[in-house]
Every structure is written in structure tokens, then in C-alpha cells.
Structure 1
């Protein structure tokens, strides 16, 4: 099923965190209404009974990066 990915980069040298734009990850399932493989002729009410109608819970990542954030890097120049 399709879902959103949220990434929050944590910069260890300055302690700041930067949220990246949320990204939608598409699945290949014809039974997910958000999928590019969902048939265009699949419409309610049958679609609501047979197909996934919601995004999955978002994946969340918070990688620790051993560097300064972009703002602190720019201020050092």
C-alpha cells in the first residue's frame, strides 16, 4: 500500500534538525486507490469495498549526520 516517508536529518555537530519535505511512496498494487496501477474504471461503491482507501502509517527516519546543518555551514563561510 502507498505511504508517506518523513525524514528529519539530525546534525550532530550543531545539534540542529532539519525536516525534509514529505514524500509519497507509491506501491504497485491494483487494489490501492493511490497506486499508479489502480484501474481507472474502479469506482465507488465497489472500489470502497474492495480497494485500500487509506495511506499506510508514514515511515519516519531520523538519520544522525556527523556534520553541521546547512544554515550553520553557510554562517561559517
Structure 2
């Protein structure tokens, strides 16, 4: 099923945290109404009983990066 991906970068050396823009991950499932593989002739009421009508919960990633953030690097605050 199609879903959103959320990524948070945590920089351990300066402590700053940045959330990246959410990204839509598209599937190839013909039974997912959000997929590009979903048939255009699949219409209600049959679509609502045979196809996914909602997206999965977003994937969430929290990456811990052992460095300073790009902002601190530009300001010369790297350690």
C-alpha cells in the first residue's frame, strides 16, 4: 500500500534535530486506490469493497548522525 515516509535527522555533536519533508512512497498494487497501477475503470461501489481505501501508517525513521548539522558546519562551529 502507498504510504508516507518521515525522516528525522539528529546530529549528535551539536544536538540539532531536523525533520525532512515527508515523502510519498507509491506501491504497484492494483488493489490500492492511490497506486498508479490501480485500474481507472474501478469505481464505487465495487472499489470500496475490493480495494484499499486508505494509506498505511507512515514509516518513521530517526537517523542519528555522528557529526554537526549542516548549519553549524557553515558557521564554523564544527568540533
Q: Please name the residue that 1:16 is paired with.
A: 16
Measured against aligned partners, the alpha-carbon deviations of 1:15-72 in whole angstroms (never above 9, x if no partner) come to 0111000011111110000111000111112111110011101000001101111111
Provide the C-alpha distance between the structure 1 equivalents of 2:74 and 2:45, rounded to a whole number of angstroms.
54
> Secondary structure of 1:76's partner?
coil
Q: Please name the residue that 2:40 is paired with.
A: 40
TM-score, normalised by the number of residues in structure 2:
0.91
1:1-77 matches, cutoff 5 A: 1-76=1-76
Name the count of aligned residue pairs. 77
TM-score, normalised by the number of residues in structure 1:
0.94
Provide the C-alpha distance between the structure 2 equivalents of 1:13 and 1:76, rounded to a whole number of angstroms.
13
Provide the C-alpha distance between the structure 2 equivalents of 1:52 and 1:3, rounded to a whole number of angstroms.
12
TM-align CA RMSD: 1.1
Unaligned runs of 5+ residues in structure 1 are none
